[in-house]
Amino acid sequence: MNKMNQKELLDTLQHQFGFDEFREGQYDIIQDIFCGEDVLGILPTGTGKSLCYQLPAFSFEGVTVVISPLVSLMIDQVKKLKAKGFKRVTAINSLLDHNQRDNIFAHLNEYKLIYCSPEMLQNPFFFKHLKTLTISLFVVDEAHCISQWGHEFRTDYLKLKDSIKKLGNPTVLALSATATPQVQDDIQYFLDKPNMKKRIYYMDRPNIAFSIEHVSNWQEKVNRITDILQHKPVPTMIYFSSRKWCEKVSEILKKELGSLRIAYYHGGMEADDRLLIQQQFMNHQLDVICCTSAFGMGVDKQDIRLVIHFHLPAQMESFIQEAGRAGRDGKESVSLVLYTDGDEQIPLRLIEQELPTEKQTENIFQDINKCKTSSLPLKKVKEELIFKNELTETQWNFLQYQFEKQQMVHNEQFHLDSKLLEDTFQQILFLLRERTTIKIKKLYEFIRWVKTPGCRRKDLYQTFQKGYQSPVYYCCDHCDFSFSKWNPPMNQIEEKVEGWEVELKRIFHQEAIM
């Protein structure tokens, strides 16, 4: 493939995407891709990683496949591209019904850019269709999911290596915002791309000040938030670790802060309502959003000034991502963590739930053992095993991957050899303990940061990179920051209470006609 000259690339950027210039990293990565090089790109959150494959995708002859871990993220990207006038994009996901899927599969060759989940890539029917196409570029978004050390770990990411080979070894681009050197190694190892070109950029955000406040209970957290927002009514996100807390605190804040427009957002809401809330926030109809980690990915609001963590995030990486929602416009912003002794209990419980427990695993093996046949179709027992042992989808996927890896499941059939079963069982227990240890270790890394006596900024970034850029506004509460000094641009709240007649007129642009 040919290198495009700078002028040509800039033209494409301006005309097709409507941006004036490339952001840091974009030009280099795109140029590498046009040269056919495999690239590992680490760029900070919200700086425009997507463009690194979207621009080449529409210039290439063949198709670009993007592996993305979250359905909502994919759908969001597709909608944005369509809104920009790119029609030949699609997301193959579990929300599509049979007809829609068949329809897309039948016209797969008409798309230039296909988003899909790693699970979907394992669907033999889909893969068969995909193999008939010429794949020019294979993108692994949120590539840290491939590593046990990444903040999310998805077993289906481990199967990508084989899929890439079967698709005729297209150029590979792996992207992530938060990958320590260790995770970067894992990405190369598991994709089997030892010679990948690494494009690693500074991930620190010089316009965000870091502040941590130690309080004695949750009511104090609420009081603190009320106090800050009363004086500084800025666009704010507040992260919680459970849906219940998210709703509860949002309720209280609404009462305490009557003049602010507050809503909550979490994964338990209907999809349409979630979209509305997200759009209201983008459209300045909401000032404060109380959310779980389900919000954030794909949310691209430029003027968020304050991100508060009401609970501890699971680890540094998720914190950096979530706090990184602040100040995408480069203006002065703050990340605040509210901490109470004992706060680590909630993430510890969540860690337990991510993978099956040892007890669940044991029960499952007992259940399988009870089927006294030597071979058993996976389909036949899967639902029951999931139901009986109350497994989540992630938990089951983990198990199934291990079954397959140990050859206990082959071609959708269980092979019930007692030696094999025992080995697999031991292997799974080992992995469970390892993963749990890793996660607990990562949580304590974060807690260590919360308690650090030194500069928060320096401490936060040191595991990821050497050094950091000097802050453009404030650094952290240990160096120079306090809320009383902070003078962010404030929200103009102009909520007029008007009846439906006025509102209807406005929607239909009939204001002139009175």
Residues that bind ligand ATP (CB under 6 A): 19, 22-23, 26, 43, 45-51, 177, 300
CB 449 within 8 A of CB 266: no
**Residue 33 within binding range of Zn ion, rule CB under 5 A:** no
As a whole number of angstroms, the distance between CA 211 and CA 309 comes to 10
CB 256 within 8 A of CB 231: no
- Positions in 18-57 near Mg ion (CB under 5 A): 49
Nearer to Zn ion, 116 or 475 (CB): 475
As a whole number of angstroms, the distance between CA 97 and CA 423 comes to 39
Single-letter code of the amino acid located at 7: K
In this structure, what token pair is assigned to residue 327? 């100040």
Residue 58: enclosing H or E segment and its boundaries?
helix 51-59
| Region from 45-53, 267-275, 288-296, 319-327 binding other proteins, contact rule CB under 8 A | 267-275
Among residues 207, 209, 224, the alpha carbon closest in space to that of 482 is found at 209
Supply the minimum distance, in Å, between the C-beta of residue 78 and other proteins. Answer: 9
Nearer to ligand ATP, 23 or 505 (CB): 23
Supply the minimum distance, in Å, between the C-beta of residue 74 and ligand ATP. Answer: 12
Q: How many other C-beta atoms lie within 10 A of the C-beta of residue 115?
A: 26
**Residue 342 within binding range of other proteins, rule CB under 8 A:** no
- The binder of 476, among ligand ATP, other proteins, Zn ion, none, by C-beta within 5 to 8 A per type, is Zn ion
Single-letter code of the amino acid located at 183: V
Q: What is the DSSP letter of 68?
A: -
Supply the minimum distance, in Å, between the C-beta of residue 322 and other proteins. Answer: 22
Nearer to Mg ion, 46 or 488 (CB): 46
- Positions in 231-250 near Mg ion (CB under 5 A): none
- Positions in 371-430 near Mg ion (CB under 5 A): none
Supply the minimum distance, in Å, between the C-beta of residue 51 and ligand ATP. Answer: 4
CB 43 within 8 A of CB 177: yes
| Region from 199-207, 341-349, 360-368, 503-511 binding other proteins, contact rule CB under 8 A | 503-511
Among 283, 345, 373, 484, binds other proteins (CB under 8 A): 283
Nearer to other proteins, 387 or 411 (CB): 387
In 310-434, DSSP assigns E strands to: 333-339, 375-377, 409-410, 413-415
Backbone angles phi, psi at 290, to 5 degrees: -95, 125
As a whole number of angstroms, the distance between CA 280 and CA 116 comes to 27
Supply the minimum distance, in Å, between the C-beta of residue 178 and Mg ion. Answer: 12
Nearer to Mg ion, 49 or 311 (CB): 49
Tracing tokens 């990411």 back to the chain, one arrives at 157
**Residue 513 within binding range of other proteins, rule CB under 8 A:** yes
- Positions in 417-476 near Zn ion (CB under 5 A): 455, 457, 475-476
As a whole number of angstroms, the distance between CA 361 and CA 467 comes to 44
Tracing tokens 């680890």 back to the chain, one arrives at 315
Single-letter code of the amino acid located at 393: E
Instruction: Walk across the sheet containing 413-415 and list its strands.
Output: 375-377, 413-415, 409-410
- The binder of 514, among Mg ion, other proteins, Zn ion, none, by C-beta within 5 to 8 A per type, is none
| Region from 172-180, 333-341, 474-482, 498-506 binding other proteins, contact rule CB under 8 A | 498-506
Supply the minimum distance, in Å, between the C-beta of residue 300 and ligand ATP. Answer: 4
# of chain residues touching Zn ion (CB under 5 A): 5
* Sign of the four-CA dihedral 90, 95, 96, 98: positive
In this structure, what token pair is assigned to residue 422? 């025992």
CB 408 within 8 A of CB 381: no
- Positions in 51-80 near other proteins (CB under 8 A): 75, 79-80
Supply the minimum distance, in Å, between the C-beta of residue 141 and Mg ion. Answer: 6
# of chain residues touching other proteins (CB under 8 A): 32
Binding residues (CB under 5 A) for Mg ion: these are 49
Binding residues (CB under 5 A) for Zn ion: these are 455, 457, 475-476, 479
Binding residues (CB under 8 A) for other proteins: these are 75, 79-80, 83-85, 100, 254, 263, 269-270, 272-273, 275-277, 279-280, 283, 285, 499-501, 503-510, 513
